[in-house]
Structure 1
Amino acid sequence: MGSMRVLEIPVSVTPADALRSFRTVCESRGWEMHRVEETRVVNRWAIIMPLTRSARVLGMVIDEEEVDGLSLRSWSFVPGSAGRVSMVSFDVPDTISPNEWTEIFSEWCSILPRCPWKWTFWERSMIGYFIPEFRRSRVLFRNEGVDISSWNSSSRVG
């Protein structure tokens, strides 16, 4: 296994929805995969002091030789006093061409149950309206080649 690029993005979908969509993308390509469960340390801010907590991480790792090491891990945490922010982390091996990665990533985005970089007013208000994750999510999706001005959910693949 060669070098990897790690892409960590805040998303508005649940970890289960992110994994379900990733599994659908992988199954449509006929790839073998296995699930992983881990824990991750996250910080929650209580007024001015960070409180360290552990978050349950759900993941899926691809076992195919051509994309050896491609994986998605997802978790949720509470950054403040209420609400939750979900994160997805892709490990992208250098053996995947940029065009192939853009295709995989765009397909994953298109079959999510809702727009992954948009939160409702209520969600933003509960989490904290001005936290940087909202903007960072849009920027990271745009940098990966996703047209964030128009998002179309498709319930079918290919």
Structure 2
Amino acid sequence: MGEGLEDGPILMERTLEIPVSVVPTEAIRAMRVIGENHGWKMSRFEETTMVHRWAIIVPLANRARVFGLSFDEGEIEGLSIRTWSYVPGSAGRLSFVSFRIPETVDATLWRGLLNEWVNLLPRCPWKWTFMERSVVGYLLPEFRKSRKLFSQEGVDIKRWKENPS
């Protein structure tokens, strides 16, 4: 725990930002279903974040709308997910999810929660179609970074199974 200047100790957290192939509403929906299944109290929020869009060779700063969901009780109290989507160039879309994981959340609990979230998504979050990659930019580092980050967090990227609903 860190030391706050006024209110005593503050919780430390780790931020994990991952590029994904799913749209923001699907990412939030999957996490909401997990929270409802476990009976955890949740709250929704909206924010904005700065993103960079490229016009020829000049980066332009834009804002993207961020959807978020935070858990207010239970063993994952303080955990939150933020997700947004933007157009990095002239066409196509890149989506991101950002998890803020408090230090109080056990590593095995987090790994299980992330795997459950991945399996509830309607498609594999680290795989894009050939057309999606071609429109955005086939060699962007985000595509490899996504697989790498999911793998580092304990998700088996070789076997993704869609959850039968």
- Bin of the TM-score, shorter chain as denominator length: over 0.9
Q: Secondary structure at the match of 1:100?
A: helix
Normalised to the residue count of structure 2, the TM-score between the two structures is 0.92
Corresponding residue for residue 29 of structure 1: 38
Q: Does 1:4 align with 2:30?
A: no
* In 1: Cα distance, 2:26 partner to 2:75 partner: 25
User: Where does residue 129 of structure 1 map in the other structure?
Assistant: 138
CA deviations over 1:28-70 (Å, ceiling 9, x no partner): 1110001000111100111211010000000001000532210
1:14 maps to what in 2?
A: 23
Unaligned ranges ≥5, structure 1: none
Higher CA-based Rg: 2
**Among the aligned pairs, what percent are the same residue?**
55
For 2:66, the aligned partner's letter is V
1:92 maps to a residue whose letter is I
Q: C-alpha displacement at 1:153, in angstroms?
A: 1.0
- One-letter identity of the residue aligned with 2:54: W
Q: Deviations over 1:117-145 (max 9, x none)?
A: 00000100000000110000000000010
1:1-158 correspondence to structure 2 within 5 Å: 1-156=10-165
- Does the CA-based 8 Å contact 2:22-2:123 persist in structure 1? yes
Amino acid aligned to 2:99: F
The TM-score with structure 1 as length reference comes to 0.96
SS at match of 1:104: helix
Number of residue pairs matched by the alignment? 156
The Cα shift of 1:150 comes to 1.1
Q: Which amino acid aligns with 1:63?
A: D
3-state SS of the aligned residue for 1:16?
helix
CA distance in 2, matches of 1:8, 1:79: 17
Secondary structure of the residue aligned to 2:78 is coil
For the residues of structure 1 that align with 2:74 and 2:114, how far apart are their CA atoms?
Answer: 19
